[in-house]
């Protein structure tokens, strides 16, 4: 038996451990492929991968309905999907155990194989990064200082003017809403602005803190978004499929940059009049992946707001059931009541404040120094101002409290079938903390997958659409963040098994003032009356940029609107999809650069979503027929509806059909 020498040489003709040759060769290959510094990084990754697999294995031992498995498992899967390790179609713990070959960078980011699409967006081979940086590091530093120093200096110099631009307190008296609820929310919004400003200025220990934080925050955003901007400028020279990859990369960048950019992406997804349908559909799946703040920070906020609670279980603060970009949610039992406590993340308002400043200065620089023809029709300043207002609405939980009270009052007669969480008056809600009743239910998407009873599905479609139409036509106070995740469904415990709809997360609402309400009604009347020329003329004449629209765009817009309405004429009433018509109108407005008010776009998008949900529940659902009770309250809409039914009934004869077609062609 050979003896192993006590003094080892550095090299051997044969490996000392031949049974590990495959592993050692694999490690050397990975180090050379990705430009790693040493094997320690490979070992670190394998240790991290082992911990991830161990966590997944432990969660698989729990019951599928166990809260710990649902919450921690979803968080683990979302993290792996966000960094590109798992596909969204494979969000299961079993796939985590089947995944191998993860490699971490020294900055705890992941490296992927060379054929991965993520390499197109800032993750090339490790050696390439180091060689480029070592050769051009003076240019990198100079570019960073120039690109961040100039905007920051401009921010400091124009701070007072920008404050007036970001938080505009002037309201035109003619633009005020008829709804008393909206005036109350406007008052709360102005109070939120004052509280935010006072809180930020009191927390500044010196005059240099804000510029320094803005400087480093801007550097971070420049490094994140510069590759995306360059790639977007070159997209015309690349294949069309790269645009979809760019959209996914932008979505992941928004998730990485924090709550303000997450909300910005969600807001951009609600503006199909400004962005492409593919872009909006990708950003529509944006989720926050927000971190969870500690139990001590939650207790500090409770003491700050003079709230003392005795809950069962006593350790409920250590186990939040969900966490979003703005707040995280706890479930507790206080005074024999099953409640939800929503707590705002500490410091989130400061982070939003800095990001809003950077967004506004970027908008100003873009509109002043870049081609105005390319960005003017987007109305960027007004859109950023609208986004700023939405962010303020969500940072103050008192506004959501007020919204819940208004919705509860509006649906008092229908609370057996349509309900909202109830705000407990015995536990005072503040701008940081909100107490509301826990509403049991299943998310709408999950309910639609499990429920096969046709009768229940039809009732549910009827309830959901009528609830939205009541918000729109009767109350003029609409839930502006409607998506299946914010709609819960449960069956009544009685023998009737009637469906009950619960609307949650009502921090964002929308109301139409007199002018916007008239515009929406007139457009709705023109579509129902099949008058494409009138609909196009209304949108052009009442657009904010009516003076900037050229004659060629007006002619093209009118022609395509008339063709759209002509196709609608051929559709029977029961098969008419109003949501599809509104989506086509938004696409045409984007194509011909016709500006639209953000409130109008929000309501149009809400109509599209609600009608789509109704048709998924009941394929034979007639949206136009559901609007009859609400159309009867407006004589002009009733006249248009009856005229439309009359035309469809007599247009079956050949000579009437030819006459209508001839009139449409002549009008174009």
For range 574-589, the mean pLDDT:
68
Kindly provide the b/e burial profile for residues 45-84, where b requires at least 16 CB atoms within 10 angstroms of the residue's own CB. bbeebeebbeebeebeeeeeeeeebebbbeebbbebbebb
- 563-579 pLDDT, tens digit per residue, is 776 676 556 555 666 66
Omega within 30 of 0 (cis) for the link into 252: no
Partner residues linked to 386 by β-bridges: none
Which range of residues forms the domain containing residue 105?
A: 19-113
Mean pLDDT over each residue of the chain, to the nearest integer: 70
For range 290-308, the mean pLDDT:
80
**Cα pseudo-dihedral 307, 310, 316, 318, rounded to 10:** 60
pLDDT at 440 exceeding the cut of 70:
yes
H/E element holding 478? strand 478-479
- 641-660 pLDDT, tens digit per residue, is 555 555 555 444 444 444 44
Residue 465 falls inside a structural domain: yes
Q: Are residues 659 and 548 in the same domain?
A: yes
30: its two tokens: 């990975």
Residue 246 falls inside a structural domain: yes
Q: Are residues 647 and 533 in the same domain?
A: yes
For range 13-42, the mean pLDDT:
77
- 176-222 pLDDT, tens digit per residue, is 434 444 555 555 555 555 444 544 444 444 445 667 777 888 888 88
Residue 43 falls inside a structural domain: yes
For range 254-276, the mean pLDDT:
75
pLDDT at 235 exceeding the cut of 60:
yes
pLDDT at 451 exceeding the cut of 60:
yes
Hey, which of 3-17, 111-125, 133-147, 612-626 has the most confident mean pLDDT? 612-626
Residue 620 falls inside a structural domain: yes
Q: Are residues 144 and 239 in the same domain?
A: yes
For range 31-57, the mean pLDDT:
81
- Give the DSSP letter of residue 63: -
pLDDT at 282 exceeding the cut of 50:
yes
Q: Are residues 96 and 61 in the same domain?
A: yes
Residue 108's pLDDT is what?
Answer: 37
Output 369 or 620, whichever has higher pLDDT: 620
354: its two tokens: 């800095």
465 with 491: CB under 8 angstroms? no
User: Angle formed by the axes of helices 532-541 and 514-528, to 10°?
Assistant: 160
For range 265-284, the mean pLDDT:
74
DSSP assignment of 552-565 equals HHHHHHHHHHHHHH
Residue 105's pLDDT is what?
Answer: 38
Residue 511 falls inside a structural domain: yes
Hey, which of 92-106, 397-411, 486-500 has the most confident mean pLDDT? 397-411
Strands 418-419 and 499-503: parallel
Q: Are residues 140 and 78 in the same domain?
A: no
Output 383 or 476, whichever has higher pLDDT: 476
Count the neighbouring beta carbons within 10 Å of the beta carbon of residue 436.
Answer: 22
Residue 47 falls inside a structural domain: yes
Residue 409 falls inside a structural domain: no
H/E element holding 538? helix 532-541
Residue 236's pLDDT is what?
Answer: 63
86 with 58: CB under 8 angstroms? no
pLDDT at 122 exceeding the cut of 80:
no
For range 616-642, the mean pLDDT:
65
- Give the DSSP letter of residue 321: S
pLDDT at 301 exceeding the cut of 80:
yes
Residue 557's pLDDT is what?
Answer: 80
Q: Are residues 501 and 600 in the same domain?
A: yes
- In this predicted structure, which of 133-137, 273-277, 477-481 has the lowest mean pLDDT? 133-137
Name the domain count of the chain: 3
Residue 173's pLDDT is what?
Answer: 35
Q: For residue 147, name the pLDDT band (cuts at 50, 70, 90).
A: low
Q: Report the distance separating Cα 527 and Cα 650, nearest Å.
A: 19
238 with 121: CB under 8 angstroms? no
Output 75 or 188, whichever has higher pLDDT: 75
pLDDT at 409 exceeding the cut of 50:
yes
3: its two tokens: 């003896």
Q: For residue 135, name the pLDDT band (cuts at 50, 70, 90).
A: low
Q: Are residues 575 and 632 in the same domain?
A: yes
- Name the domain boundary from 358, 374, 393: 393
Largest CA distance in the chain: 107
- 524-537 pLDDT, tens digit per residue, is 667 666 677 777 77
Residue 127's pLDDT is what?
Answer: 40
- Give the DSSP letter of residue 16: S
Residue 56 falls inside a structural domain: yes
State phi, psi for 448 to the nearest 5 degrees.
-65, -30
Q: Report the distance separating Cα 290 and Cα 539, nearest Å.
A: 40
Q: Are residues 514 and 374 in the same domain?
A: no
Q: Are residues 478 and 525 in the same domain?
A: yes
Q: For residue 5, name the pLDDT band (cuts at 50, 70, 90).
A: low
Q: Are residues 222 and 85 in the same domain?
A: no
Kindly provide the b/e burial profile for residues 551-567, where b requires at least 16 CB atoms within 10 angstroms of the residue's own CB. eebbeebbebbbebbbe
Omega within 30 of 0 (cis) for the link into 313: yes
Sheet with 487-491, edge to edge strand ranges: 418-419, 499-503, 487-491, 442-443
Q: For residue 8, name the pLDDT band (cuts at 50, 70, 90).
A: low
Q: For residue 115, name the pLDDT band (cuts at 50, 70, 90).
A: very low
Q: Are residues 382 and 285 in the same domain?
A: yes
Classify residue 242 as exposed, middle or buried by CB count within 10 Å of its CB (0-12, 13-18, 19+).
middle
Q: Report the distance separating Cα 610 and Cα 613, nearest Å.
A: 5
582: its two tokens: 């509104």
Q: Report the distance separating Cα 471 and Cα 7, nearest Å.
A: 85
Q: Are residues 86 and 148 in the same domain?
A: no
Q: Report the distance separating Cα 593 and Cα 557, nearest Å.
A: 10
pLDDT at 543 exceeding the cut of 80:
no
Output 432 or 515, whichever has higher pLDDT: 432
């Amino acid at each position: 038996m050979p003896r192993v020498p006590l003094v080892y040489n550095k090299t051997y003709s044969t490996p000392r451990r031949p049974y590990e040759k495959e592993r050692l060769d694999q490690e050397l290959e990975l180090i050379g492929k990705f430009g790693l510094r040493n094997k320690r990084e490979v070992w670190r990754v394998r240790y991290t991968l082992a911990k991830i697999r161990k966590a997944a294995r432990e969660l698989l031992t729990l019951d599928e309905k166990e809260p710990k498995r649902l919450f921690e498992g979803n968080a683990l899967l979302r993290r792996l999907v966000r960094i590109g390790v798992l596909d969204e179609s494979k969000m299961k713990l079993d796939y985590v155990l089947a995944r191998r070959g993860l490699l971490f960078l020294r900055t705890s980011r992941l490296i992927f194989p060379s054929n991965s699409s993520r390499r197109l967006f800032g993750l090339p081979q490790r050696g390439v990064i180091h060689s480029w940086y070592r050769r051009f590091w003076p240019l990198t530093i100079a570019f960073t200082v120039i690109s961040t120093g100039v905007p920051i200096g401009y921010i400091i110099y124009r701070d007072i003017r920008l404050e007036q631009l970001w938080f505009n307190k002037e309201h035109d008296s003619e633009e005020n809403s008829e709804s008393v609820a909206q005036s109350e929310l406007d008052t709360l919004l102005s109070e939120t602005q004052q509280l935010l400003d006072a809180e930020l200025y009191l927390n500044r220990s010196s005059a240099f803190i804000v510029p320094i934080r803005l400087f480093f925050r801007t550097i971070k955003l420049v490094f994140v978004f510069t590759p995306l901007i360059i790639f977007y400028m070159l997209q015309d020279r690349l294949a069309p499929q790269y645009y979809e990859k760019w959209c996914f990369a932008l979505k992941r960048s928004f998730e990485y940059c924090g709550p303000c950019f997450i909300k910005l992406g969600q807001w951009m997804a609600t503006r199909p009049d400004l962005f492409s349908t593919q872009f909006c559909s990708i950003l529509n799946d944006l989720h926050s992946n927000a971190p969870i703040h500690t139990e001590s920070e939650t207790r500090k906020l409770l003491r700050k707001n003079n709230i003392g609670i005795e809950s069962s279980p006593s350790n409920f603060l250590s186990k939040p059931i969900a966490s979003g970009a703005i707040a995280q949610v706890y479930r507790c039992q206080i005074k024999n009541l099953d409640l939800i406590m929503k707590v705002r993340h500490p410091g989130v308002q400061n982070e939003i404040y800095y990001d809003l400043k950077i967004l506004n200065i970027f908008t100003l620089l873009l509109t002043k120094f870049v081609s105005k023809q390319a960005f003017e029709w987007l109305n960027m300043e007004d859109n950023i101002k609208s986004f700023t207002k939405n962010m303020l609405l969500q940072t103050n939980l008192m506004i959501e409290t007020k919204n819940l009270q208004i919705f509860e009052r509006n649906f008092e007669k229908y609370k057996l079938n349509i309900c909202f969480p109830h705000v407990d008056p015995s536990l005072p809600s503040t701008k940081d903390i909100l107490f509301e009743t826990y509403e049991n239910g299943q998310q709408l998407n999950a309910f639609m997958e499990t429920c096969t009873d046709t009768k229940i599905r039809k009732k549910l479609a009827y309830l959901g659409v009528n609830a939205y139409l009541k918000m729109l036509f009767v109350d003029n106070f609409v839930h502006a963040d409607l998506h299946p995740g914010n709609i819960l469904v449960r069956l009544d415990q009685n023998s009737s098994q009637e469906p009950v709809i619960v609307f949650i997360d009502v921090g964002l609402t929308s109301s139409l003032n007199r002018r916007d309400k008239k515009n929406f009604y007139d457009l709705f009347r023109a579509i129902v009356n099949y008058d494409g020329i009138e609909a196009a003329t209304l949108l052009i004449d009442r657009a904010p940029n009516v003076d900037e629209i050229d004659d060629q765009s007006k002619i093209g817009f009118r022609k395509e609107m008339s063709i759209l309405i002509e196709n609608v004429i051929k559709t029977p009433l029961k098969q008419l999809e109003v949501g599809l018509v509104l989506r086509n109108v938004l696409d045409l407005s984007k194509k011909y650069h016709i500006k639209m008010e953000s409130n109008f776009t929000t309501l149009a998008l809400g109509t599209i979503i609600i009608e789509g949900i109704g048709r998924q529940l009941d394929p034979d659902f007639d949206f136009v027929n559901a609007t009859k009770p609400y159309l009867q309250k407006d004589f002009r809409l009733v006249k248009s509806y009856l005229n439309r039914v009359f035309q469809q009934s007599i247009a079956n004869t050949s000579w009437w059909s030819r006459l209508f077609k001839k009139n449409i062609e002549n009008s174009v």
